[in-house]
Amino acid sequence: MKIIVCIKQVPDVTEVKWDENGSLIRTGLPSIINPNDKNAIEAALTLKEEKGAEITVVSMGPPQVEEALREAMAMGCDHAVLLTDRKFGGADCWATAYTLGMAIKKLGHFDLIFSGVEAMDGNTAQVGPEIADFLGLPLLSYAEAIEVGEGTVKIHQKLGDLTRVIEGPMPALITCEKELNVPRIPRMDLVFECFEKEIKVLGMADVDGELENFGLKGSPTRLRKVFSPKRAKAQVEFLEGTPKESSQKLVEKLHEINAI
């Protein structure tokens, strides 16, 4: 079985800062593999151990994404492909999915594509489904369990309080939820081996496609503004009295503001 895993390198912060143009200030921030994408890697590695598989991990981004790809190989992925080109810069979900889709076509035969449900720095959850759309694949999204059969794949799809079981023919694309598994730590011997492996680097000329579909040029969405919402300072009022009295005062207050 051949599996492709799409990953993204993201800054390791919960509160990122942007410059005046709305771009992320990445300087000084450590980078990590997007957490959901680690679930995707783990899902592929679990299948590899259970049924045997060859895993290629693919990522689009600047040259420093090499670090994330090597870490994926240290976890157990077999091959890595880096899509890097200045013309890929500024891509939105559509252009990113287009670029990844074109590259995957170039890589040849595969049985499954895994990606994380969403990236922690964008939270769009669009790229995985759009790759499936580009490649004309069945999409099995929000997977919290995966079963591979003979030519078919079944997932437990997380839908809020409900779980839906869906099945589709392979090849297919699956987006992975954090509930799917606990990603493993890289193995120390593979840490050393991953630096001996070659990473395939592809630019725009290597993946074919239409020039106007890549990067900022190919992105239908435009970022207008990014800002941190201002936090209003709250007024603190102490409700005096016994617990019963203060509880009654609290209920009155909540009624006043139509909270209850």
Partner 1 sequence: MDFNLTPLNKMVIKTARAFCETEIPAIDAYMKEHNDYPPYLQEIFAKHHMLGMDIPKELGGIGADNFNLILIAEEVGKTASTCMLPFFMNNSVAETICHWGTEEVIKKFVPPLCDGTAWASMAFTEPNTGSDPRALTLTAEPDGDDFILNGTKRFISMANKPGPGVFFAKDLSMKGKPFDTTAFIVDKMSPGITFSGHYELMGLDGADTCDVFFTDVRVPKANILGRQGKGFPILLRWIAGERIQQCAATIGGGQAALDESVKYGNQRVVGGFPMGYMQGFSWMLADMKTRVEACRLLCYKTVKLQDEKNKGFEAASSELKVLTVPLIQEVCRQAVQFHGSYGYSKEYKVEKIFRNAMHLGVVASSLEINKTIAGMTILTQK
CA-to-CA separations, 12 to 35, 77, 94, 121, 218, in angstroms, rounded? 10, 22, 24, 9, 28
Choice between 191 and 226, CB closer to partner 1? 191
Cβ 67 to partner 1, closest distance in Å? 7
Q: Report how far residue 193's alpha carbon sits from residue 63's, in angstroms, rounded to the nearest whole number.
A: 20
Closest approach, Cβ 187 to partner 1, in A, equals 5
Nearer to partner 1, 63 or 229 (CB): 63
Pick the closer one to partner 1 by CB: 86 or 187: 187
Residues 20, 72 contacting (CB under 8 angstroms): no
Per DSSP, the three-state class of 248 is: helix
What is the closest distance, in whole angstroms, from the C-beta atom of residue 240 to partner 1 in the complex?
Answer: 27
Sheet with 2-7, side-by-side order of all strands:
162-169, 152-159, 139-148, 172-176, 112-116, 2-7, 54-60, 79-83, 200-202
Give the nearest distance from C-beta 177 to partner 1 in angstroms: 21
Match 């919290």 to its residue by tokens: 144
Nearest to 47 by CA among 147, 168, 141, 143: 147
Compare residues 12 and 206 and give the one whose CB is closer to partner 1.
12
CB of 185 to partner 1, least distance (A): 4
Q: Which is nearer to partner 1, 7 or 143 (CB)?
A: 7
Q: Mark 167-206 with x for binding to partner 1 (rule: CB under 8 A) and - for no binding.
A: ------------------xxxxxxxx-xx-----------
- Considering only the C-alpha atoms of the chain, give the largest distance between any 2 of them, rounded to a whole number of Å: 75
Q: Residues binding partner 1: what is the number (CB under 8 A)? A: 14
Q: Roughly what angle, to the nearest 10 degrees, separates helices 127-135 and 93-107?
A: 50
Rounded to the nearest whole angstrom, what is the least distance from the CB of residue 74 to partner 1 in the complex? 7
Which among 48-56, 63-71, 109-117, 204-212 is the span making contact with partner 1, rule CB under 8 A? 63-71
**Residues with Cβ < 8 Å from 117, sequence gap 6 or more?**
36, 125, 128, 141, 142, 175, 176, 177
> What minimum distance in Å lies between the beta carbon of 72 and partner 1?
11
Q: Which is nearer to partner 1, 112 or 120 (CB)?
A: 120
- Of 192 and 250, which has the nearer Cβ to partner 1? 192
Pairing of strands 152-159, 139-148: antiparallel
Which residues from 66-85 bind partner 1, rule CB under 8 A? 67, 70-71, 74
> Which residues here bind partner 1, judged by CB under 8 A?
67, 70-71, 74, 185-192, 194-195
